[in-house]
Structure 1
Amino acid sequence: MASTRPLRVGFVPEHFSTPIHFAKKHYGLDAELIPFPSGTGHMITALRSSEIDVGIGLTEGWIAGLGKSQEAGDKDGGYRLVGTYVETPLCWAISTGAKRPEIKTVDSLLSSKIGVSRIGSGSYVMGYVLADERGWILPTAGVGGSNQQASPFSETVVLNTFENLRRAVNSGEADFFMWEYFTSKRYYDNGEIRKVGEIYTPWSSWKIVASTGLVQQGDGDGDKKLDLRVDDLLDKLNQGIKHFNENQEEAVQYISTKLDYSEEDAREWLKTVRFPQRTQGVDFKVVVSTVETLCKASVLKVGKGVDAYAMIARKR
């Protein structure tokens, strides 16, 4: 008998979460919404320890997490991709401390200390995407003639929260970190941190995943039967997104009063984001291109068992 317990849904309590709030407020979304301010990496841990059932987070974090599991021989991985939450790329701001004059440009960050929320998080993955884009990842001869990738950074400092990341670049514990631009902007405006540059994800930025316990594995054709509560969640998110698109002033009011953004920044962000009409399913080509980029950036390893097709429970 299927469970009737409300799903526990992990989400990042930022401006992108507004349609989730509308789905709950206006359309009867029956779910326990659990905020994860430290981001996607923390949600992966929570999914695998059965603390949450569904996560709404960053594409690169979910795919890197599953790819790492596959490389280690773990075919389950704890979750599967079931939906698409944001169609547009994410702009990652590259930030340092307000009084770090020695850090002038992005190129000055080579061999520096990168701050990340967690290993495998979006902030971690995008550091390597940045390094690949800049040509900082170079092969180095390994034992027995095998080639390994030299780290482009002198140290990776795990700091868990956005607040800790801001503190660390000012204390010198880390030299820079990467976080979503509009979330970072108010701290540029108040002088707490300084922007060095930015980089966009080369993929649509947010995906929805469900615990493998909510996915019927089926016959391997790529589309799996989902727990009915997941289907209902996706339907309610569609309604929340439609409400978001049709009620922009309500969205601005919510973002500027309940979240950590100014009204001006909320309005500017609205110009940059596009949610899908239907959250159901994930484009296989997006997953493949993300895996290819993560392999190129040495987050994942080519030929080590990474299977993009197996990551998806519901395809578009």
Structure 2
Amino acid sequence: MSSPLRIGFVPEHFSTPLHFAQKHFGLDATLIPFPSGTGHMITALRAGEIDVGIGLTEGWVAGLGKGDMEGDGGYRIVGTYVDSPLCWAVSTGAQRNDIQSIADLKDSKIGVSRIGSGSYVMGTVLADQQGWLTPGTPPFTFTPLQTFAKLREGVNDKTVDFFMWEHFTSKRYYDNGEIKRVGEIYTPWSSWLIVASTSIGETDSRLKELFESLDKGVKHFLENEEEAVKYIYTSLDYSEEDAREWLKTVKFTNGIRGANEALVGKVRDTLLKAEVVEESGLGAEQMVAIKR
């Protein structure tokens, strides 16, 4: 008999339907939080520490798009979790009077959770939008600081000049004066995908159970707003007001199983331009194991 899936996830508001899938619909899985994000889950997948990861679209694509990737890359895209884009807030230290807008960040130091993570990838996308990309030259000095807490510390002690993290996760720290917001950028694609280790394969019956349970978890989330809000503000790092505001912006996927190859191709093309991935890395058709 196969053991329960080990599922990596980011312990933020987006994890609420996953929590409901286990609490209300019997999802037989071990849920493993990764507060440092998608890049850390890629490492864990390749080390055989988790079987499935729920993380940021650009992080998963970046991980499979490297030209020097070892072996088969360790995972493939098997599902879609969130259809809405992600709003990345751009933050600096509360006392950084020299940084008032995104324009002040050219050639500066950016804090990221890990090289290849969503916070890293979106830094290059920001530079692309600002016209700051020069082939062969990084647009910023990238400094890995692992966690959201260390990123906040980093902008205040001037280890780095700025970092990027999801808007509502950042907002509490704008409200309490710990950090300062200087702008935002939206992902030009749907924001969350599900991947599975290549060691378990896309036909594994446990994946079918996961998709079915998550679909029910999403439905429960949509039909029980008050329960969702209470879980977010009592169990996660958000205010009740911010939880309610976030609910107005997020759109979870109707039918988790499978991913859109054209969407993955669009992300890959953007990351190629930003020199996050290489032509010699996997193509979109190779990244997606279960297609929509």
Using structure 1 for the length normalisation, give the TM-score: 0.91
2:286 paired residue number: 310
Displacement of 1:72 in angstroms is: 1.5
Gaps (5+ residues) in structure 1? 140-148, 216-224
Question: Residues 102-181 of structure 1 correspond to what in structure 2 (within 5 A)?
Answer: 102-139=98-135, 149-153=136-140, 155-181=141-167
Letter of the structure 2 residue corresponding to residue 4 of structure 1? S
1:298 paired residue number: 275
Displacement of 1:84 in angstroms is: 0.2
In the alignment, the residues of structure 1 paired with residue 97 and residue 280 of structure 2 have an alpha-carbon distance, to the nearest angstrom, of 42
Letter of the structure 1 residue corresponding to residue 228 of structure 2? A
* Residue 232 (str. 1) matches residue 228 (str. 2): no
The structure 1 residue matched to 2:27, chosen from 26, 29, 39, is 29
Q: Which runs of 4+ in 1 moved over 4 A?
A: none
1:90 paired residue number: 86
Q: Is the 8 A contact 2:64 2:281 kept in 1?
A: no
The structure 2 residue matched to 1:185, chosen from 167, 171, 175, is 171
Root-mean-square deviation (Å) = 0.9
The structure 1 residue matched to 2:194, chosen from 182, 204, 208, is 208
In the alignment, the residues of structure 2 paired with residue 58 and residue 33 of structure 1 have an alpha-carbon distance, to the nearest angstrom, of 17
* Residue 282 (str. 1) matches residue 259 (str. 2): yes
SS in 1 for 2:76: strand
Change (3 A) 1:104 1:195: same
Displacement of 1:304 in angstroms is: 2.3
SS in 2 for 1:226: coil
SS in 2 for 1:32: strand
Q: CA offsets, 1:191-230, max 9 Å, x none?
A: 0000010000011000000000111xxxxxxxxx421101
Displacement of 1:267 in angstroms is: 0.4
* Residue 77 (str. 1) matches residue 73 (str. 2): yes
Number of residue-to-residue matches in the alignment: 292
Change (3 A) 1:53 1:73: closer
The share of aligned pairs that are identical, in percent, is: 65
In the alignment, the residues of structure 2 paired with residue 168 and residue 265 of structure 1 have an alpha-carbon distance, to the nearest angstrom, of 24
Question: Residues 50-61 of structure 1 correspond to what in structure 2 (within 5 A)?
Answer: 50-61=48-59
Q: CA offsets, 1:80-120, max 9 Å, x none?
A: 00000000000000000000000111011011100000000
Q: CA offsets, 1:138-169, max 9 Å, x none?
A: 13xxxxxxxxx21111x211100000000000
Q: Is the 8 A contact 2:262 2:284 kept in 1?
A: no
Larger Rg: 1
Displacement of 1:75 in angstroms is: 5.3
